[in-house]
Each structure stands twice: as C-alpha cells, then as structure tokens.
Amino acid sequence: MAVRGYALRAAELAGAAAGPVTSVALLVAGCALLGVAAAGAGGAVVAIVLAAVLVVAVIACCDRMALSAMLARPVGEVEHPELYRLVRELSKDGRLPVPRLYLSPAEQPNSFAVGRGPRSAAICCSEGLLRVLDEAELRGVLGHEIAHVSGHDLLGSTMSAGLATVITFPAGLPRLARLPRPGALEQALMLLFGPVAAVIVRLAVSQEREYRADAAGALLSGDPIALAGALRKIDAGTAELALAPDGRRISVGHLMIASPFRPEGLARLFRTHPPAGERIRRLEALAGYRR
C-alpha cells in the first residue's frame, strides 16, 4: 500500500509538471521558428537563447506579475487578524509553511494563490470576497487555495500566467504611449497575441486541477458545504461584477477560484474553470448529499 501511495503521488507530480514543460517547449519552438524565418540557423540559436532568458526571468518574477495585475498589496496580521488566524490554522493542518497574504481592491469576490512552491506561496483575496463570505465559507476558500499549494499546482499556473502576460504585453503599449484611439489598437493586438497566450495557459492548466483543489480544500477545512456555499456567492458575484478582460488581467484569470470574466469574446479562449454547478454538486456529494 505504501508503494502504491508513493506511485500515485509520483504520477500526480508528473502530471502537474507536464503542462508547464509543454508550454515552455512550445514557446521555445515558436521562437526558434521565428528565428529561422528571420535569419536562418543563426537566428534560431539567438531566438532560443532569448527564449531561455525570458523563461528564467518569468519564473523569477511570475508571482509579482500576477499580484500586480490585480493591484494586490501585502496585508499584515494587525490589519486582518481573523484572516491570518484561518490561514495559519489551515497551513498547520496541511503541514505547510504559512503563505504570505495579499489583498486586492477588486469589488468582485475572488481569490487566487501564486508562487513557485510552498515556501514562496502567496494567497490573495479581494475586498469583495471578505465582504460577502462568512467565516466558514472563507475558511473553505482558503482551504481551496492552500490545496493548490500542497497539490504542487502553483509553479505551472503561475509561470503560465507570467508567460501569457509577457506575450500579451505589446497589446498594452498603445495605452502606455497614449496613442490616438488606443482601445481599437489594443483590441487588434490582443486578437493577434491573445490566442498564443491562451494556448500557453490551456496547456499548463486543466479543469481537473480545480476539482482536486475543491475536494482537498473541503477536506482540509472540514466543511464541503461551506465551500459549496462560497462558490455560489462567488459565481453570482463574478457574473454581476465581471472584470474587463484587458491584457494583464486576462493572463491571470485562470489563477482565480472562479473565472473573473464574462464567457464571451477572447476571454472564452482563456477559460480553464469547470462549471460552478458541477463543482458544487461534487462538493455536496462529498458531504453525503444526494440528488
């Protein structure tokens, strides 16, 4: 039984690593093809080196890039003692280091976890989330995010968010340069670069990732029904207060516990979340409810 458990755990870790590796390989191959088209074999070598440097830089800064996209700021225990208490208890139960905590000013109720591993993990909650959830529901959501940490989901999802942000960065240049009609040019550039970024995200992140985090988070928090209730409120809040899918936000939407955008236009290409109804059904079944 112990050997089987180790084998299953090794398979899970291999699956978690396969997505990011595929995304990086695709990015490097694309850069190599562009290099060949521009300057032959020498151009391919230069392009591969530049792609490798880009990947290393993204790995080093991907968590900060994701947090800055949501204007998140670090919060201390004095400011939110109850939030810290819940995270500390869940981290102790999960035998994990206590993550850093951040707060986003977004009115939409949502949360996400970023980092390169358990020791660099950070959890970000929106102000809207803290307003609409009670303590049991918030505990369930934090359990979900800590389950991403323990499930080794962070590196792949955070790195893909960083790569997608870099790929879609040119779409934000017209606004930064204050060009005339920046919105139209930004949309045109997003139509060009957005699908490439979406492929990177979809290769690195799967729907099963959210189902696993729901189940593990519910068991960690001890209340699947509370997490199901939180998902209902979050789903309603994201529909009512959907975020604008600009280049920075659209690249980090897959990190969040629920998709922050309306399922239309370019945002549909980046959707990696399973239907909220199915997630709630599975949590209720975990609690023994039958339909």
Residues marked as catalytic: 145
Nearest to 67 by CA among 112, 24, 22, 20: 112
Give the integer Cα–Cα distance in Å for 240 and 222.
29
Cα 264 to Cα 166: distance, rounded to the nearest angstrom? 23
CA dihedral 174, 196, 201, 276 (to 10 degrees): 80
DSSP secondary structure letter of residue 256: B
Q: Which residues, including other chains, have CB under 8 Å from residue 89's CB and lie 6 or more apart?
A: none
Q: Hey, what are 154's tokens? A: 């962070």
**CA dist., res. 123 & res. 228, Å (int):** 20
CB 62 within 8 Å of CB 159: yes
Q: Are 205 and 156 in contact (CB under 8 A)?
A: yes
Strand 100-104 and strand 122-126: pairing?
parallel
Amino acid at 254: H
Which element (helix H / strand E) includes 123? strand 122-126
Show the DSSP H helices in 77-117 as ranges.
81-93
Tell me the C-alpha distance between 162 and 221, whole Å: 30
- Whether residue 197 contacts residue 114, with contact meaning beta carbons closer than 8 Å, is answered with no
